[in-house]
A and B are shown apart, each in its own frame.
Chain A
Amino acid sequence: MPIIFICSVPFGGGERLARSLADKLGYAYLSREDVVARANDCGIPVGKLEVAMVKKPAWRERLGRLKERYLAVATSTICEKAAAGNLVYYGRSGHFLLPGVTHVLRVRVIPEPSQRLDTVVQRTKLSRERAVGFLDEIDADIRAWVQFVHGAQMDDLHRYDFVVNLENISIENAAVALCGIADLPDFRPTPASRRAMDERLLQARARIKLALDERTADGDLTVRSNDGVVTITYMPSQASLAPVIPEILRDLPGCRELRCTVATTNVLWIQEEFRADAETLAQVNELARRWGAAVELLRYRPDEPEEAPCAPVPQAPVPAAKLAADGGVEDDVVEIVAASDRAFHDTLDTLVQAGRSGGGHAVAGSRERLLSAINPAIQYSLVLVGDVYLKKGSAARTRMTRELTQFLAEHARAPVIPAADLGAKLRFGPAQVAKLATTVVLTAALYALVFTHQDLLLDVLGGPFHNLHPWGAVLLVAVLAPLAAGLNAGVTSSVLRLLKLD
């Protein structure tokens, strides 16, 4: 029998439907509230994520890792409960947690508006007018939550197997109908689907253990599992985590073998000031996505003395026991952090949220000092040099950045390009469309010319003309072959770029 996910906006009747369905089927019932309670028990303050949907979070709140931890707890809670028997889960978007698991029935509930409004008025004692605004706001917040947490649209109906519109059917009748649907063979577990769920559970458990251990809590670790083999990938700059990981995951239930590997595709991005909303970050993220690469940030301040302190590292999670002891009020340590450091951490957090963070550090001083900060043991796939020498004038900045790029290219054992060139390399704009069209037309013209003048060409290559002027064949091949190759290459590279496969 399947795991049934009932997804609904709050006050939308989804909870009543889920409970009724669980009762009728005799299944266990689990709700988002249970998942959140477990996450809170683990010291994962889910409320921070929730409030971040309502108001812009304080810069200190690093939400990327918090989100990962919450997802791991949610996945493991659902899988553990479902492993014990059949399950009905009620929440906002739980069905996104088990990709690859086919014995799930995903049901979206569309609420009956006036009934929903009545429920809100009754529970909150808000006026009807205010309640309408309240519902609009929470619906927008929950869409933002699903987008933030799962990177998906809540209203994308392709993500559901059935939609129950409570405007047209009662909750009881919907529950009866779903009982029948749940019994269909399409939603029954298969050995492959069960294995997929075991892998999800194993992966989630490993992730939770690593997230809750203070030694690895801030590590940029990727967790995968396949057939009971758990693979943890760590960033080259965090090699010190490698011996700790097996220790933390020693007793992981269901783990047949543990492998720790270092990430092999890494991009190093050097820049003086980082901004989370910069276009370059979006381009770097896009490149990292295409390559499956991690991005390491290196903040380089050439005009400051070499002793300048590095940017502070992100904070480890607060253990649950400590939270209870201080009542949720942390130590009154005033953090005096420059706006540029905040922007650096925001950029790092954006990469963490995208699952692309390779860590970040800072260095100040000469370019030799910068070079010494680049770990020679790491084989970078690409080094990007962004805006540096910001205190210099425009001409001096351009010259010095060019010189720095050349210096790094000579010494860093990796391809080095200016970050400004990245956009041009990734973009498929009007210029690229024109280039593709031109190369396609020229290629077609060249082939048309060859095929419509075959007699002439054969004459030059081996006929009477060739006997009179043997150098003509050499000249023809010397011109046509590179021309055809160049045009073909132009078309191919443009098409690959269009398909984002370059």
Chain B
Amino acid sequence: MNDRLQVLVLDDEPIVGKRLQPALAKVGCDVEVFDAPRPALERVAAKRFNVVVTDIRMDDVDGIEVLEKVLEQWPETKVIMITGYATVELAREAMAKGAFDFIAKPFKPQELRDVIAKAAEALGFAAISRAVEGVTS
């Protein structure tokens, strides 16, 4: 098994991917960044990612739809939802549809790294969990 966690980050604000890419790369993640849902879904169709981090409110295709499509094709992929417009209803709907976790914006990259470490642990990527712990210790 590849030791590096394959992560896809999707947010229609390019700055999000720009900020998250180095933050996740430093704990051993291979990160691909997208700022539009359709190319991201095309990439998901071609490659199995271990973790998908997706915004919810996007034009064209929303994050819940991305979640459904990713899990339809790769049921083991952990999908983490991020949004600046979180509500109880949205968080519960995402969880009911199989999201691994839900993070409200604004957040610190460390918060996402902590969630990714949990996802990595569930997927058997012990090295990532150790790397995340190493950053904070």
**A: which residues have CB within 8 A of B?**
10, 36, 40, 45-48, 50-51, 53-55, 58, 60, 124, 126, 130, 133-134, 137-138, 141-142, 145, 318, 323, 325-336
What residues on B are CB-neighbors of A48 within 8 Å? 86, 104
Give the contact stretch, choosing among B43-51, B71-79, B92-100, B123-131: B92-100
What residues on A are CB-neighbors of B23 within 8 Å? 329, 332
Interface CB pairs A-B, < 8 A, 21? A47-B86, A51-B91, A54-B88, A54-B91, A54-B92, A54-B102, A55-B102, A60-B108, A138-B88, A138-B92, A327-B13, A327-B16, A327-B105, A328-B82, A328-B84, A328-B106, A329-B19, A331-B108, A332-B108, A333-B108, A335-B108
- B39 interface residue (CB < 8 Å to A): no
Chain A: minimal CB distance from B65 (Å): 10
Interface string of B55-94 (1 = CB under 8 A from A): 0000000000000000000000000001111111101110
Judging by beta carbons under 8 Å apart, are A318 and B88 in contact? no
- B36 interface residue (CB < 8 Å to A): no
Which residue of chain B lies nearest to A43 when distances are taken between CB atoms in the complex?
B106
Cα(A332)–Cα(B109), bound, Å: 6
What residues on B are CB-neighbors of A54 within 8 Å? 88, 91-92, 95, 102
Q: 12 additional contacts, CB 8 Å, given A328-B106, A330-B109?
A: A45-B84, A45-B106, A47-B87, A51-B86, A54-B95, A60-B108, A60-B111, A134-B92, A142-B88, A327-B15, A327-B105, A329-B19
Judging by beta carbons under 8 Å apart, are A329 and B88 in contact? no
Interface residues of A, dominant DSSP: helix
Give the contacting residue for A329; candidates B106, B135, B136; CB below 8 A: B106
Q: Known A138-B88, A334-B136; judge A50-B105 contact (CB<8 A).
A: no
Judging by beta carbons under 8 Å apart, are B22 and A332 in contact? yes
What residues on A are CB-neighbors of B83 within 8 Å? 47
Give the contacting residue for A138; candidates B15, B89, B110; CB below 8 A: B89
Q: Known A134-B93, A332-B22; judge A50-B88 contact (CB<8 A).
A: yes
What residues on B are CB-neighbors of A47 within 8 Å? 83-87, 104-105
Cα(A325)–Cα(B18), bound, Å: 12
Give the contacting residue for A323; candidates B95, B101, B106, B109; CB below 8 A: B106
Judging by beta carbons under 8 Å apart, are A328 and B102 in contact? no
Give the contacting residue for A58; candidates B14, B97, B111, B135; CB below 8 A: B111
Cα(A50)–Cα(B56), bound, Å: 15
- Give the size of the chain B interface in residues (CB under 8 angstroms): 38
Q: Known A126-B96, A141-B88, A328-B16; judge A45-B108 contact (CB<8 A).
A: no
Chain B: minimal CB distance from A192 (Å): 36
- B137 interface residue (CB < 8 Å to A): yes
What residues on A are CB-neighbors of B136 within 8 Å? 334, 336
Cα(A137)–Cα(B94), bound, Å: 12
Chain B: minimal CB distance from A327 (Å): 4
Which residue of chain A lies nearest to B20 when distances are taken between CB atoms in the complex?
A329
Give the contacting residue for A326; candidates B15, B87, B92, B101; CB below 8 A: B15
Which residue of chain A lies nearest to B26 when distances are taken between CB atoms in the complex?
A332
Which residue of chain B lies nearest to A331 when distances are taken between CB atoms in the complex?
B108
What residues on A are CB-neighbors of B114 within 8 Å? 58
What residues on B are CB-neighbors of A10 within 8 Å? 88-89
Of residues B22, B97, B103, B104, which shows the largest number of chain A Cβ atoms within 10 Å of its Cβ? B104
Cα(A331)–Cα(B91), bound, Å: 24
Judging by beta carbons under 8 Å apart, are A50 and B19 in contact? no
Cα(A338)–Cα(B88), bound, Å: 31
Judging by beta carbons under 8 Å apart, are B85 and A326 in contact? no
Judging by beta carbons under 8 Å apart, are B93 and A124 in contact? yes
Which residue of chain A lies nearest to B95 when distances are taken between CB atoms in the complex?
A54
Judging by beta carbons under 8 Å apart, are A336 and B106 in contact? no
What residues on A are CB-neighbors of B108 within 8 Å? 60, 329-333, 335
What residues on A are CB-neighbors of B95 within 8 Å? 54
Cα(A184)–Cα(B80), bound, Å: 51
What residues on A are CB-neighbors of B106 within 8 Å? 45, 318, 323, 326, 328-330
What residues on B are CB-neighbors of A335 within 8 Å? 108, 110
Cα(A124)–Cα(B137), bound, Å: 41
Which residue of chain A lies nearest to B109 when distances are taken between CB atoms in the complex?
A332
Q: Known A48-B104, A327-B16, A332-B108; judge A40-B85 contact (CB<8 A).
A: yes
Of residues A145, A318, A330, which shows the largest number of chain B Cβ atoms within 10 Å of its Cβ? A330
Cα(A205)–Cα(B111), bound, Å: 33
Judging by beta carbons under 8 Å apart, are A50 and B91 in contact? yes
Cα(A400)–Cα(B19), bound, Å: 51
Judging by beta carbons under 8 Å apart, are A327 and B11 in contact? yes
Cα(A323)–Cα(B11), bound, Å: 15
Cα(A45)–Cα(B103), bound, Å: 12
